[in-house]
Amino acid sequence: MNLPRSSYYYRPKSPETSSEDQALTDRIEEIAEEFPRYGYRKVTAQLRREGRVVNHKKIQRIMRERGLGVKKRRRFVRTTDSHHPYPVYPNLIRHPVMTGINQVWVADLTYIRITMAFVYLAVILDLYSRKAIGYALSDQIDTDLSLTALQMALQRRHPPAGVIHHSDRGVQYAAHEYIDVLRAYQFQISMSRKGNPYDNAAAESFMKTLKTEEVYLWEYETMGDAQRRLPYFIEDVYNQKRLHASLGYRPPVEYEACLYQNHSTTPV
């Protein structure tokens, strides 16, 4: 019949399969829109959590075809001022061995650009679960800002004596007012080496996630914008929903709940 071999063997795709593929692609796009820094591994993990049987290679191909890869990061401005008269402390977490929450807390500060100005965010994370346990926002980058975040963490966690508090060498963390509170709660005080961002990598990673998945997408114009959006992102998105590879592709709140079930460690 003078037909090409390819025409003889051609079998059209069923409408059901095409519909399933489109639904999968739509869901991938929704995940990538909500979490712009998710690569194909985290997208695959999220889909599997939702009960979908998916292959990571297929997810990678769809994301590549749709241009859904990790977005290029912006340049970050340094907020650490280590030129001060206060004592600095050695790094106690270069090789941390942790078995649960409330063993190491890490703290950091960052700027948030708004129209014609900046506001500043201080955050404290539990290093074991990566959960944000304290945060504060201000138009001043001072010790009051870092203290407000610390007070939130203390009220939520009621930490035992001996927790390591790790930060950079900035004046906001080295000032007497801040150190006095740490000593009152019997923290071990730890600080990064000078000019070494890797010593506080978990806190740095949180700040980059917050910038790329929240701040840059919403383009805050006023302090009010930041006050409304940042708590929502920290509490409802980052703590409750965002998957972490280091936690077995689980969000921090879920990870702490699993610890509570397995070891009777009360999360907050």
Provide block-wise average pLDDT over 10 residues at a time, the chain (268 residues): 61 58 84 79 86 84 76 50 76 90 97 91 98 97 96 98 96 96 98 81 93 88 94 96 93 93 61
Residue 69: its pLDDT value, please?
Answer: 64
Residue 128: its pLDDT value, please?
Answer: 97
Q: What is the pTM of this model?
A: 0.72
Q: Is 60 helix (H, G, I), strand (E, B) or coil?
A: helix
For residues 78 and 118, what is the distance between their CA atoms, to the nearest angstrom?
A: 13
Residue 45: its pLDDT value, please?
Answer: 87
Structure tokens at 84: 């001060």
Residue 144: its pLDDT value, please?
Answer: 97
For residues 24 and 26, what is the distance between their CA atoms, to the nearest angstrom?
A: 5
Beta pairing partners, 126:
105
Residue 84: its pLDDT value, please?
Answer: 59
- Residue 151 Cα distances to 122, 130, 136, 148, 183, angstroms: 11, 18, 10, 5, 13
Residue 82: its pLDDT value, please?
Answer: 57
For residues 105 and 153, what is the distance between their CA atoms, to the nearest angstrom?
A: 9
For residues 219 and 148, what is the distance between their CA atoms, to the nearest angstrom?
A: 25
Residue 16: its pLDDT value, please?
Answer: 47
Long-range contacts at 1-5 (CB < 8 A, ≥ 24 apart): none
Residue 5: its pLDDT value, please?
Answer: 63
Residue 32: its pLDDT value, please?
Answer: 81
